[in-house]
Amino acid sequence: MRTLITGGAGFIGSHLCERLLANGHDVLCVDNLITGHLENIEHLSGQDRFQLRLHNISEPLEIDGPVDNILHFASPASPVDYLRHPIPTLKVGSLGTHNTLGLAKLKKSRYLLASTSEVYGDPEQHPQRETYWGNVNPIGVRGVYDEAKRFAEAMTMAYHRSHDVDTKICRIFNTYGERMRLDDGRVVPNLMGQALRGEPLTVYGDGSQTRSFCYVGDLVEGIIRLLNADFHEPVNLGNPNEVTILDFAREILELTGSKSEIIFKPLPQDDPRVRRPDISRARNVLGWEPAVARRDGLRRTLEFFRDRVDL
C-alpha cells in the first residue's frame, strides 16, 4: 500500500503517518508547514517507507507511480490559525480538495476527506447526527473554515457520484493529545498551558458552552476503519462524553494541581454553544467507539506539554 497524507506534519496527520507506517504502508507526507511542524514527524524521517514533500496542496501536485490511498488532512484547524490565514484556509478546502480528488480519480485511489463538526455551525440539533444540515454563518469570521469544509464535502460527494471515486468523509469532533501546539488556541492546550505556567485559566462566556473531547489515538483508529469501509456518506468521529467548558477548566486544575484562578472573557463570534456527536453511524458501520477515558488521555497529553511549556 502506498498512501499520501496531506497535512501529514500536523497534529492528526502525523499520528496517521505513524499508524499507517506501522501497518506496513509506504507513506508520502505532503505539507507546506503553514501550521504543521517538522518536529511531529522527525522520528519517522529515517524510515525507508516514509517520504516528506514540502508542497502547498492548493497548487497542483504530480506523483509518479501508483497511489492506493489519499487522506486529505491539510488545513488550518484551530480558530487562531484559520483567522490568521483565512484565504489559505478557503483555498485548501476548495482548490486543495479539487487537486487531491483529481489525483484520486487519476490514480484510482481510495480517498478520505477530513471534515469537521464545524459543518454543523452553532447547532440547533443536539446531539449532532450526520443527517443534520447545520446552522452556519457563511460571512462570519469562522465561515472561512466552516464553509471551506462544507464545500469540500460537496465536491467529494460530486466526485463519488460523477466519477465513481471511492470516497469517505469523516467529520472530526474536538480531538486532543500529544503533538498539539501549545499556541494553537484550542481549549485543551490553552488551559493546560495556563495551568502549567501558573497563569489564570481563561474561560470564554460563562463557561456553560459544551464540548466533547476525543483522544487522538481513538480518532486515528476510527479513521483507519473508515478508510477500509465500503461507505461513502459522512461519519461523525468523536467522543459523545459532553462536558461544560467551566467544568473542564476545573478538571484541568485538579489534574495539574495548579492553584490558578479561572477568569472569564467575552465569547467569540459564532462560537458554538453545544457540541456532541451522535456516533450511532460509526458504531453501526465501523464497529467503532472511543476507548480512552478523558482523564487518561488528558494525563498523557499533560506529560507531553510538561516538557514543552515555557515556564
- Active site residue ranges: 145
> Residues 58, 100: contact at Cβ < 8 Å?
no
| Cell numbers linked to 135 | 446552522
d(CA 2, CA 108): 12
Q: Is the CA virtual torsion 145, 272, 208, 275 positive or negative?
A: negative
Contacts of 39 (CB under 8 A, 6+ apart): none
Type of residue at 292: V
User: Grid coordinates 467529494 are at which residue?
Assistant: 156
> Residues 169, 227: contact at Cβ < 8 Å?
no
d(CA 226, CA 283): 11
**DSSP 8-state assignment for residue 121:** B
> Residues 105, 159: contact at Cβ < 8 Å?
yes
d(CA 109, CA 67): 6
Q: What angle do CA 311, 271, 71 make, to 5 degrees?
A: 80
d(CA 101, CA 217): 26
> Residues 244, 310: contact at Cβ < 8 Å?
no
